[in-house]
Amino acid sequence: MKVMCILCLILPVLLLLPGTSPAVSLSGESNTYMQSRQAADGTKELPFYEYLNLSVRDIGKETISFQFGGWLRYDLKDNTQETGQSRSANDLSYAYLSYYSKTANTTVNLGRVMVFEGVAADRLDGIYARTDLAKNFGVSAFGGTPVETGTDSEGSNSIYGARVSHQVPGLYQIGLSYLKQERNSEEVRKEEGIDLWLRPIDKVELMGKSRYNAITSEWSDHNYVLALGPFYRVRLNTLLSSVNYKDYFTASTTAVFKFDPGVIDPNEKVQTLGEQVSYDVNEKLNISALYKSYSYDIAGDATYYTGSLRYAVGKSWGTGGSIGRMAGDVERLKYKEYRVYGYGKFGKADATLDYLLVNYDEAINSVRAAFSVTLAAAYELTEKLKIGADLEYSKNPDFDKDVRTFLKLIYNFDFVQGKKGGV
């Protein structure tokens, strides 16, 4: 499979480079999962997953490293005839050589890279670079072929963009960004944006971004948060967002973000206003309240508010709960929710118990009360190896009884090649 093939080809080269560096270090994490669940059509599923992330550093010089992340899935139960899908799947999330220099804070990444710069939140096969300029200016740029998952992307495909920023450390940073994607010489994405971080005085912080769709000539979304405090143990967060679905989803690089017009109207627009107030009674006890107002152009309006309580004794154990209410114009957005949870660490073992109950105002598929109970436990076999299991039992409008088990094996590793005195 391509993830493991690429890894097997690259790692020996990196680890056996000539001794131009005193040591080459490899570190990473392997997450192995096996899940048992039932699909909506009653089909039993038993998928096996492997997620691998690793980092190779000190290659040739301190400034060069190699980063890798990928996953694979294999269904232990053969449901290909029922689902029409393959039993196996894999994906190379990222794999790139990285060069870093303290001079001008310069970074250059080459390979399958992940880019988070202004309007860009993409994976691409190509190059990404950033550096600081004079007078507190900074610039970043990227270009290559976008990595598209589960979409019809035949033909030539390219993506490129840049971001220019200016900052006064501790006071503000503002960035202007641009992104363009072409498929067969046709523009499918063309976005411009502004992002802001501002701290005019102590305990007042504003952050957020706005994105403009240059193809439709409309603003696709605005998202901002104003954080105040703490003032006498009180913190306040004000949230404001606006999303225009048609402009926001103009072009998708993954099938996950392609919506069915029969379910969600592409002409929908939503504005969200929220306020969260948090109060630390003492070092262990916290109470908070959250209010959100949703205004949909087509689906109608909805409001959500909840009160929460949390009690924690360091990292040893804790408990909490919340009571919430969603009041909307459609059946699925009219309910009350109740949650209680607790967790604890007992030597090398830890456990969590979580219970969630949702009472609908009107029955959905003859269900008025939906709930889920989750029990999770884990044990550290060694400092680097941890095993665990999750068990979830739930009932909701889609499943009369849904039982899921989740087994996990987490292994952290590190390896040093060429260090004096041995490996």
Tens of pLDDT, residue by residue over 288-342, are 999 999 998 887 889 999 999 999 998 899 999 999 999 988 777 899 999 999 9
Phi–psi pair at 6, nearest 5 degrees:
-60, -40
Neighbours of 413 (CB within 10 A): 12
Which range of residues forms the domain containing residue 157?
A: 102-221
Mean pLDDT, to the nearest integer, of 255-268?
60
Which of 20-29, 202-211, 246-255 has the least mean pLDDT?
Answer: 246-255
Q: Is 365 left (phi over 0), alpha (psi -120 to 50) or beta?
A: left
pLDDT in tens, 115-144: 999 999 999 999 999 999 999 999 999 999
CB crowding 297-336: b at 16 or more within 10 Å, else e? eebeebebbbebebbeeeeeebebebebebebeeeebbbb
- Check pLDDT > 60 for residue 261: no
- The Cα–Cα gap between 45 and 47 comes to 6
| 54 domain residue, yes or no | no
| 45 domain residue, yes or no | no
Q: What is the pLDDT of residue 61?
A: 56
Quick one: which of 59, 72, 49 has its CA closest to 11?
59
Share of the chain above pLDDT 70, in %: 85
Q: What is the pLDDT of residue 30?
A: 96
- The Cα–Cα gap between 323 and 307 comes to 6
pLDDT band at 421 (very low <50, low <70, confident <90, very high): very low
| 235 domain residue, yes or no | no
| 215 domain residue, yes or no | yes
CB crowding 242-281: b at 16 or more within 10 Å, else e? bbbbebbbbbbbeeeeeeeeeeeeeebbbebebbbbbebe
Residue 134 three-state SS: helix
Q: Mean pLDDT for the chain?
A: 87
Long-range contacts of 143-148 (CB under 8 A, 24+ apart): 144/113, 146/122, 146/181, 146/253, 147/112, 147/122, 147/123, 147/253, 148/253, 148/254
| 340 domain residue, yes or no | no
Which of 75-84, 105-114, 355-364, 389-398 has the least mean pLDDT?
Answer: 75-84
C-alpha to C-alpha distances, 384 to 68, 225, 378, 380, nearest whole angstrom: 19, 38, 13, 8
- Check pLDDT > 80 for residue 111: yes
| 151 domain residue, yes or no | yes
- The Cα–Cα gap between 281 and 286 comes to 6
| 210 domain residue, yes or no | yes
pLDDT in tens, 351-400: 999 999 999 998 888 889 999 999 999 999 999 999 999 999 999 887 78
pTM assigned to the model: 0.83
C-alpha to C-alpha distances, 258 to 151, 243, 249, nearest whole angstrom: 9, 16, 7
Lookup: tokens for 127:
């190059």
- Check pLDDT > 70 for residue 60: no
Q: What is the pLDDT of residue 257?
A: 46
Number of domains in the chain: 1
Q: What is the pLDDT of residue 285?
A: 97
Lookup: tokens for 373:
């109970």
Q: What is the pLDDT of residue 298?
A: 83
| 108 domain residue, yes or no | yes
Lookup: tokens for 89:
């799947």
Quick one: which of 216, 1, 14 has its CA closest to 96?
14
* CB-based contacts of 321, cutoff 8 Å, min separation 6: 308, 309, 338, 339, 340, 341
Lookup: tokens for 404:
């899921």
Range with top average pLDDT, 10-24, 241-255, 337-351: 337-351
Q: What is the pLDDT of residue 254?
A: 47
Mean pLDDT, to the nearest integer, of 406-421?
80
Omega prior to 18 cis, within 30 of 0: no
In which element (H, E) is residue 256 found?
none
